[in-house]
Amino acid sequence: MASKRGYRIGIDTGGTFTDVVCVRADTGEVFTTKTPTTPTDYSEGLIEGIRKIMSEVKIRPHQVIGVYHGTTVATNAILERRFENLGLVLTKGFRHLLELGRASQIAGNRNRGHFASALLERPPEALVPPERICEADERVSASGDVLRPLSKDEAAEKARWFRDRGIGAVGICLLHSYANPVHEKILLDAFHREFPECFASISSEVIPEPGEYERAVTTLLDASIKPRIKAYLEKSSGRIEEFIGEVPFLVMKSNGGVSTAREVAKKPISTVLSGPAAGALSAAYLGKLSGHQRLITLDGGGTSTDIAVIENGEVKRGTRHQLDEFTLRLPMLNVVTTGTGGGSIAWQSPEGRLHVGPRSAGADPGPVCYGLGGEEPTLTDANLVLARSPLHLAGGEVKLKKALAMRAMRQLARPFGLDPLEMASGVVEIAAWNQAHAIR
C-alpha cells in the first residue's frame, strides 16, 4: 500500500524553536531537525520546518501521507498575558465574578480537633477590568428554566457596545448556561450580526459544566487566543496544501486526542496544552519500552516548563487544571505548566526583588545572546554566562554571543551589588525553584 511507503511529518511549534520529526512509515526510521519559530507569523516557521526536513531526507511532496501538529502557541499567549483587547458578558449582578475568584474548602482532621476552614484562592490579576465587562439582564435557573428572558434588542445593544469600543475578543458566560444555553446563543447571534469581526466565545460551547468562575476564565481564554490560533491554523493549512497537496493536517489536543485544524480553530482552548500533551504521551510510551511505569516528566521549552505524572504507564487526566495562575475547567491530560523557559526574562520588580518570567523574549528578538536586538537578559543568557550551554543552538545555525549576555547580566546585577556570575547563578536558581514548585 502507498501509505506504508510514505512519510509522516510531526511538527511542534514552541515559543522559541519549531521542532520537526519525520518518520518513514514502512521502516520506522526517524529523522529530526529544528528551525527558529517565527512569532510574527507562526505558519512561516511551520512550513520552513517542513521544507527543511523534506530537503534533508530528500522527500517529494507526494510521499508525505500526513502532517501532525503540536503547539504551545496558545499556552505561550496565555502565559505572557496578552489580554489587552478582551471583554466579558456576564449575568446582571455578577460583574465582580473574576475579582471574587473561587473559595475552596480545606477539610481538617476532626479526630485531632482540626476544623474545616474556607480559604479564598487569590485570583490572578483580572483578565478583564470592570470597564470592559457588560451585564446582561437575564436569568436561567440551575435546572434550565428561563426566569428572566433576554431580549434580542438588548443582545444587539451589548454587541454594539463592544463594537463601539473596539474590543475585538469577547467571552460570554451567563449563569447556568450549561443547563440552558438559549441566552448565550442569542448573544452570539447578535455579535455575528452587529459585530461580525469580533471573536466571541460562549461558555456553553467551551465547557458546559457548573462552576461559574472556572467556566468564565476558560471561556475568556478561549476568546483571547482565538484570533491568533485561527489565523495561524488557516495560514498553515493553506501553505501545507500549496507545498504538499491535500494531506491530513491534524492538531494535537490537550486531552491527548487529535482533530482537524478547522475544528480546532473553533475552540482553540482545546490546544492550550497541545505540545505538552504530546510530550507527556511520548514519555509514557518510552517509559513502557524501558520498563518504567511510574514517572515524572519535565519538558522545558523556550517559554514554559511542562510537568506530568505517569502512573501505571498512563498519564493522569482531569477536568480542572492550573495553567500558571489560571484555573481551567477542561478535559485534559494532567500537565502542569509554569512560565519558566529558556527565553524567560529576568527582571527586577519595583520592590527590588529578582524575578524570572513569565514574560519571554521568544524567538524575536530572542535572548540577548542571539544578537538580534534583545536587551533584557534571559535564562538562556544566564546559562551561557555560566558556561552551562554551548556557543551555538539548532545544529550550529544559531550562534550565541557570550559577550552580549555578559553585558546584559552585568546591567541587571548592578542594583543588587552583584557581579555577572553571581547574578546569573541567581537567575538560574530562581528558575529552578519555579520548576521545582510546579513539580511539587
Rounded CA gap, 302 and 324, in Å? Answer: 16
pLDDT value at residue 105? 35
Residues in contact with 160: Cβ distance below 8 Å, sequence separation at least 6, in sequence order: 194, 195
Q: What is the dihedral of CA 246, 247, 251, 255, to 10 degrees?
A: 130
pLDDT value at residue 2? 42
∠ CA 11-13-18, nearest 5°, is 80
45-70 confidence digits (pLDDT tens): 999 999 999 999 999 999 999 999 99
Rounded CA gap, 103 and 110, in Å? Answer: 20
Strands 344-348 and 258-260: unpaired
**Separation in Å, CA 357 to CA 83, 228, 377, 430:** 17, 22, 11, 10
Phi-psi region of 164 (alpha: psi -120 to 50; beta: other; left: phi over 0): alpha
Rounded CA gap, 360 and 341, in Å? Answer: 8
Give the predicted TM-score (pTM) of the model.
0.77
Q: Where are the alpha helices (DSSP H) in 195-211?
A: 203-206
DSSP state of 378: B
Rounded CA gap, 46 and 44, in Å? Answer: 5
Yes or no: say if 357 and 339 are a contact pair by the CB < 8 Å rule.
yes
pLDDT value at residue 393? 78
Q: So where are the chain's domains? A: 2-77+228-274, 86-224, 344-439
pLDDT value at residue 328? 86
DSSP state of 108: -
pLDDT value at residue 398? 80
pLDDT value at residue 39? 82
CATH topology of domain 2-77+228-274: Nucleotidyltransferase; domain 5 (3.30.420)
- Report residue 370 as a C-alpha cell: 542571539
Residues of the chain with confidence (pLDDT) below 70: 1-4, 103-124, 324
Nearest to residue 220, comparing CAs of 120, 89, 404?
89
**Separation in Å, CA 395 to CA 16, 21, 71, 302, 391:** 15, 15, 21, 16, 11
Rounded CA gap, 212 and 330, in Å? Answer: 13
